[in-house]
Amino acid sequence: MIAAPAVLRAQTAARVVVIGGGFGGASCARALRHADAKLDVTLVEANKTFTSCPLSNEVIAGLRDIGAQQFGYDRIVAEGVRVMLQAATAIDASGHKVTLADSTTLDYDRLVLAPGIDIDFTALQGYDEAASAVMPHAYKAGEQTLLLRKQIEAMPNGGTVAISVPANPSRCPPAPYERASLIAHYLRTRKPKSKILILDAKDSFSQQKLFEQAWQQLYPGMIERIPLSQGGRVTGVEIGTRTVITEFGNYNPDVANIIPPQKAGRIAVLAGAVDRTGWCPIDAATFASKLVPDVHVIGDACLGGGIPKSAGAAQAQGKLCAAVLARDLTARPSEPPPLTGVCYSLVAPDNAFSLSGVYQPKGDLFAEVEGAKTSPVDAPPATRAAEADAATTWFKALTHDAFG
Ligand SMILES: Cc1cc2nc3c(=O)[nH]c(=O)nc-3n(C[C@H](O)[C@H](O)[C@H](O)COP(=O)(O)OP(=O)(O)OC[C@H]3O[C@@H](n4cnc5c(N)ncnc54)[C@H](O)[C@@H]3O)c2cc1C
């Protein structure tokens, strides 16, 4: 139980502004509203429709429609959250004010930043925003997802798809390997002479045994991975010649999916909440920024330590942050929800495995309470098929929880 605070604010309706209506921010705004109807909650989101990254690899592989990834904010509005569908462009931390794209200003008592990631367009030589229209990252879902899908559809049988994987911390570390698996599923059925080349800035990765076993069984000879120690780290691209440059050699794939290093969304920089790591340091118990008073940071944008940058984690953080704010801003003590996360990786439409964990604050970061639970390597096909079904059920629950 979170205890009631010693001092409550004098005003009757405390104002909380949440920037970012993704998994973290939308869940936080809803939970605040449910915690106490007297709280004045405003959610600021740049887009009218949210497009989900989880399950977007299925869209790339032609297994799912992009429409199934999209969610609006009507239900959150109906619950009494004020939703402003425009970008936040500036934050005056000392004046406790947020400025929006149309120059409207919002006053806050507490500000929650949940802007997710920005692609670091300075990290790889030659890879700027214009380059991403030729070599998509598809790490923010929507147009980029569809672009990568189109390029793979247009590729000839016998072509190569290169996927560059960044070092951690990165949004959803297993996602590039899930992507490689599902693209392989598409190629095996439509363009079986084709290959996938993973150029990796890491030597090892989470659930590696499970992925490699699946690749051997389902897509023998189709996926090659070059790890960091063998020169797999991508350092740049040349768009004119469609070249991907690594530490030890150059490649000219037919399709290049470049996933660059990432950083916290820009509004967090404008708030002064980002440190030299590119992410937002927080007190893990309260999500309070270590750099800006009365600002809390949740989801991918925060420096989380042992908790992965995942939708499940962002949602759990959003709810826990709401409980902390409700305690601070109202007289009601509240029960803190657990910080849990589960991540499903599909390697074929009817074949998935998962990784789940329970986390708790440990100083400025999060640590796993107990070791992560992962699916066994030797699970029978029926178990893998059940995990694929569970992934769909999980997604429905996740999006229902975030968007109503
Ligand atoms: C290919 C892929 C597959 C993935 N699969 C999984 C999975 O299976 N399971 C899982 O748990 N996670 C998965 N993830 C990770 C997951 O998508 C992220 O961890 C999650 O979206 C983070 O939530 P968030 O709220 O921090 O950010 P987001 O969900 O990205 O939300 C941020 C929101 O903030 C808004 N915003 C940003 N700046 C502003 C501004 N200035 N003003 C107003 N609005 C702003 C954005 O428009 C966006 O809507 C995957 C990611 C990728 C790329």
SS3 of 57-95: HHHHCCCCCHHHHEECCHHHHHCCCEEECCCEEEEECCC
Q: Residue ranges per domain, the chain?
A: 15-116+265-336, 131-261
* Predicted local confidence at residue 371, as pLDDT: 67
Provide φ and ψ at 227, rounded to 5°. Answer: -80, 175
Task: Verify whether ligand 1 is closer than 6 Å to residue 88 (CB atom).
Answer: yes
CA angle 97, 99, 102 (to 5 degrees): 150
Number of Cα atoms under 13 Å in the Cβ half of residue 149: 18
Question: Quick one: which of 313, 350, 356, 314 has its CA closest to 181?
Answer: 350
Mutate which of 310, 319, 398 for ligand 1? The one with the most ligand atoms within 8 Å of its CB, which is: 310
What does each C-alpha distance from 236 to 127, 135, 199, 249, 258 come to in angstroms?
7, 12, 12, 11, 10
Query: Helix-strand-coil percent breakdown of the chain, rounded to 5?
Result: 30, 25, 40
Rounded CA gap, 244 and 251, in Å? Answer: 5
From CA 162, how far away is CA 298, in angstroms rounded?
Answer: 32
Among residues 160, 159, 217, the alpha carbon closest in space to that of 353 is found at 217
User: Mind listing the pLDDT tens digit of every residue in the chain (404 residues)?
Assistant: 333 343 344 457 899 999 999 999 999 999 999 999 899 999 999 999 999 999 999 999 999 999 999 999 999 999 999 999 999 999 999 999 999 999 999 999 999 999 999 999 999 999 999 999 999 999 999 999 999 999 999 999 999 999 999 999 999 999 999 999 999 999 999 999 999 999 999 999 999 999 999 999 999 999 999 999 999 999 999 999 999 999 889 999 999 999 999 999 999 999 999 999 999 999 999 999 999 999 999 999 999 878 889 999 999 999 999 999 999 998 777 778 888 888 899 999 999 999 988 888 887 777 777 667 888 888 999 999 999 999 999 999 999 999 99
Alpha carbon nearest to ligand 1 atom 6, residue: 54
Out of 52, 99, 137, 172, give the residue to mutate to test ligand 1, the one with the largest number of ligand atoms within 8 Å of its CB. 172
Q: Which atom of ligand 1 is nearest to the CA of 179?
A: 1
CA pair distance 225, 212, nearest whole angstrom? 10
Q: How far is the CA of 285 from the centre of ligand 1 (A)?
A: 22
Q: Is there an atom of ligand 1 within 6 Å of 169 CB?
A: no
CATH of 131-261, one of 3.50.50.60, 3.40.50.720, 3.90.1200.10, 3.30.750.24: 3.50.50.60
Architecture field, domain 15-116+265-336: 3-Layer(bba) Sandwich (3.50)
User: Going by CA atoms, what residue is nearest to atom 27 of ligand 1?
Assistant: 116
Instruction: Measure the CA–CA gap between 187 and 220, rounded to whole angstroms.
Output: 12
